[in-house]
Amino acid sequence: MSNEYRKLLTVITESAIERDLLADMERLGAHGYTVTDARGKGSRGVRDAGWGEASNIRVEVLCDDATARAIALHLRTRYYDNYAMILFMSDVEILRPEKF
Amino acid sequence: MPALDPVVLFFLLGLAAGLARADLRLPGAIYEFLSMVLLLAIGLKGGVELARQSPVELLPQLGAVLLMGIVLPLAAYPVLRWRLARPDAASIAAHYGSVSVGTFAVAVAFLASQGVVYEAHIPVFVVLLEMPAIMVGILLARGMGRQTDWKRLGHEVFLGKGVVLMGGGLLIGWAAGPEGMRPLGGLFFDLFKGFLALFLLEMGLIAASQMASLRRHGAFLVVFGIVMPLLSALVGGWVGWLLGLSVGGTALFATLAASASYIAVPAAMRLAVPEANPTLSLAASLGVTFPFNVLVGVPLYLDLARLIHRLGA
């Protein structure tokens, strides 16, 4: 077992931009991602996922530090002003380094 | 005044439950399913009727529908611009130039309950009316700039859920014809009103959730959300009459003009004009215009169609 570490980038945002967001991530070097439906409350009000326009997604990407920072920078400049978006990073221990 | 149709009572139940913060929430997947069935059912029904008709006869009507989809948002924009920023005014104008399939479905059910017949190819117009207003809205917000990714947006507009399902339904209904559709009629035609009732229950809940932003953004949107559909219905009713539609067809045409989108246009505007505040346009279209049309507008537009035909005759 290797003690290798990567970044886990988590983005919670509007499902309206899912397709663009995932295309951006792949272009910037993400090898894969996981998308789940999300609900919650924030500065843009309650988003209860009851219907399309009020639904949120949570996107998780495991990647190296440089890729995570490149994606984060891009998302900040491209989406922060006009879309509900939360973005955070954490260090995670991974078991199969060749995958990420 | 006829008694309220039970489907409208379902809407009121949803609205009341939402306003009272009752513990009621339809899962997103159910809402998706209901809207899919309604879109397909409307498309299939129109397609079956289309199979009986020559498409060439429809061309002038299709042209008039497209023109109306361009004129209505252009008329709404200056009024909205008086109180709102450019992106918001353009986005709301696009919502009001486009159509609401939910409102259309309510009008279809209402005409059926009143025994009023209408030209069954009108769903073709619903598909067509989704698009022009979106283009006009983007041009109003952006001008002819190079910032807009038209290819991406074209994908969103022409391959949006509403257009694919209703347009696909039209084609399937047209290809299958009345005989071919009979085995599917149980799901798509017999259960239509039941699905519509559940859909309206959810729409009541959604409309209630828009009320908070309506309180915040004030009287202007409320007045606009009621006056604009009334004026659009006059235009739609007049155009329907000019096109030689029956009383039922004219009423549906007026309803189409009066309704405001809440599925296709919000999604397209979110991508093309992201700086427009979606809560403003949704509060107006869902919080004001949709309930107004369901509760008051649809019966009113039938009376309007009757009046126009009487005056014109």
Residue A67 sits in which domain range? 4-93
Q: Does any domain span residue A78?
A: yes
pLDDT beyond 70 at B224: yes
Whole-number pLDDT of residue B212: 80
Whole-number pLDDT of residue A65: 94
pLDDT beyond 90 at B226: yes
pLDDT beyond 60 at B38: yes
Whole-number pLDDT of residue B214: 83
Beta-carbon contacts of residue B60 (< 8 Å; ≥ 6 apart): B243
User: CB burial class (10 A; 0-12, 13-18, 19+) of residue B23?
Assistant: exposed
Q: Which two tokens stand for residue A8?
A: 């886990």
d(CA A38, CA A14) in angstroms, rounded, equals 9
B267 and A55 within 8 Å at the Cβ level: the answer is: no
- CA distance, residue B206 to nearest chain A CA (Å): 8
pLDDT beyond 60 at B2: no
- CA distance, residue B26 to nearest chain A CA (Å): 7
Mutate to test the interface with B, among A53, A56, A78 (most CBs of B within 10 A): A53
**Residue ranges in chain A modelled with pLDDT below 70:** 1-2, 43-54
Closest among B198, B241, B242 to B32, alpha carbons compared? B198
pLDDT beyond 60 at B11: yes
Out of A41-55, B81-95, B205-219, give the one with best mean pLDDT. Answer: B81-95
* Rg of chain B on CA atoms, in Å: 18
d(CA A97, CA A64) in angstroms, rounded, equals 10
Whole-number pLDDT of residue A45: 62
Whole-number pLDDT of residue A1: 57
d(CA A4, CA A96) in angstroms, rounded, equals 8
If pLDDT is split at 50, 70 and 90, which confidence band does B55 have?
confident
Whole-number pLDDT of residue B103: 95
How many separate domains does chain A show? 1
* Least-confidence region, from A66-70, B23-27, B174-178, B244-248: B23-27
Whole-number pLDDT of residue B313: 60
- Domain ranges (residues) in chain B: 6-13+26-312
pLDDT beyond 50 at B1: no
d(CA B290, CA B96) in angstroms, rounded, equals 11
* CATH architecture of the domain with residue range B6-13+26-312: Up-down Bundle (1.20)
Backbone angles phi, psi at B72, to 5 degrees: -60, -50
Cα B160–Cα B165–Cα B167 angle in degrees, nearest 5: 95
Is this prediction's ipTM beyond 0.85? no
Beta-carbon contacts of residue A35 (< 8 Å; ≥ 6 apart): A18, A22, A57, A58, A59
Whole-number pLDDT of residue B136: 92
* Least-confidence region, from B127-136, B153-162, B183-192, B278-287: B153-162
d(CA A10, CA A30) in angstroms, rounded, equals 13
Whole-number pLDDT of residue A44: 65
The residue in chain A having the minimum alpha-carbon distance to the alpha carbon of residue B264 is: A53
CA dihedral A77, A21, B95, B297 (to 10 degrees): -130
The residue in chain A having the minimum alpha-carbon distance to the alpha carbon of residue B273 is: A82
A52 and B205 within 8 Å at the Cβ level: the answer is: no
Contact between residue B53 and residue B121 where contact means Cβ atoms under 8 Å apart: yes
- CA distance, residue A5 to nearest chain B CA (Å): 35
Annotate B28-64 with three-state secondary structure: HHHHHHHHHHHHHHHHHHHHHHHCCCCHHHHHHHHHH
Whole-number pLDDT of residue B110: 94
The tens digit of pLDDT for each residue in B148-181 reads 677 777 777 788 778 888 889 989 998 998 889 8
Out of B28, B263, B279, name the one closest to residue A49 (CB): B28
B31 and A51 within 8 Å at the Cβ level: the answer is: yes
Beta-carbon contacts of residue A79 (< 8 Å; ≥ 6 apart): A13, A17, A21, A85
Mean pLDDT of all residues in B116-138: 88
Out of A8-12, A94-98, B64-68, B193-197, give the one with best mean pLDDT. Answer: A8-12
Task: Please state, rounded to an integer, the average pLDDT across all residues of chain B.
Answer: 89
Q: Angle at which helices B28-50 and B122-129 pack, to 10 degrees?
A: 130
Whole-number pLDDT of residue A68: 96
Instruction: Quickly list DSSP for chain A.
Output: ---EEEEEEEEEEEGGGHHHHHHHHHHTT----EEEEE-EEETTEEE--SSGGG-EEEEEEEE-HHHHHHHHHHHHHHHTTTS-EEEEEEEEEES-GGG-
B266 and A53 within 8 Å at the Cβ level: the answer is: yes
The pTM of this model reads 0.87
Closest among B93, B63, B89 to B75, alpha carbons compared? B93
- CA distance, residue B299 to nearest chain A CA (Å): 27
| CATH number of the structural domain spanning residue A41 | 3.30.70.120
Whole-number pLDDT of residue A35: 96
A20: which chain B residues are within 8 Å (Cβ-Cβ)? Answer: 152, 271
If pLDDT is split at 50, 70 and 90, which confidence band does B95 have?
very high
B209 touches chain A (CB under 8 A): yes
Q: Does any domain span residue A89?
A: yes
Q: Which two tokens stand for residue A13?
A: 């945002």
B25 touches chain A (CB under 8 A): yes
Residues 249-288 of B with CB under 8 A from A: 262-263, 266-267, 270-271, 274-275, 278-279, 282
* Least-confidence region, from B64-68, B83-87, B144-148, B279-283: B144-148
Cα B44–Cα A53–Cα B11 angle in degrees, nearest 5: 65
Helices (H) and strands (E) in chain B, counts: 18, 0
Q: Does any domain span residue A45?
A: yes
- CA distance, residue A17 to nearest chain B CA (Å): 7
Residue type, B237: G
B267 and A51 within 8 Å at the Cβ level: the answer is: no
Cα B102 to its chain centre, rounded Å, is 6
d(CA B34, CA B267) in angstroms, rounded, equals 18
